């Protein structure tokens, strides 16, 4: 049974999923995105790349502040799929 999301997570997750699904051929849902963000390997790399590359940092920050995922988990996800000098990766590393 999926864990209930914090209420404040619903909007940023919906925005993120819309951005991702506009960019990749295989759609993703919120549960799959959260699972990929917490995975220790390259699971969901295509979706994660679209998430970190295209979703505004304000939305990513809203997601972290909602409690659905930590800045540390986001930074680890960004390190798995973004180059070291990517602005979003650098931004997340500062907050982790």
Q: What is the pLDDT of residue 39?
A: 85
Predicted TM-score of the model (pTM): 0.89
Q: Write the CB contacts of 66 (distance below 8 Å, at least 6 apart in sequence).
A: 5, 6, 7, 8, 9, 12
Q: What is the pLDDT of residue 1?
A: 39
Average pLDDT over every residue of 87-92: 98
What is the C-alpha end-to-end distance of the chain, expressed in Å?
29
Q: How many residues does the chain have?
A: 96
- For 1-26, the pLDDT digits (tens) are 356 788 899 999 999 999 999 999 99
């Amino acid at each position: 049974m999926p864990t209930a999301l914090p209420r404040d997570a619903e909007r940023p997750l919906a925005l993120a999923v819309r951005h991702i699904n506009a960019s990749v051929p295989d759609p993703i849902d919120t549960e799959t995105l959260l699972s990929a963000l917490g995975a220790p390997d390259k699971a969901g790399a295509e979706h994660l790349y679209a998430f970190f590359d295209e979703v505004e940092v304000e939305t990513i920050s809203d997601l972290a502040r909602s409690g659905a995922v930590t800045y540390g988990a986001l930074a680890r996800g960004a390190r798995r799929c973004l180059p070291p000098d990517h602005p979003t990766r650098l931004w997340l590393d500062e907050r982790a």
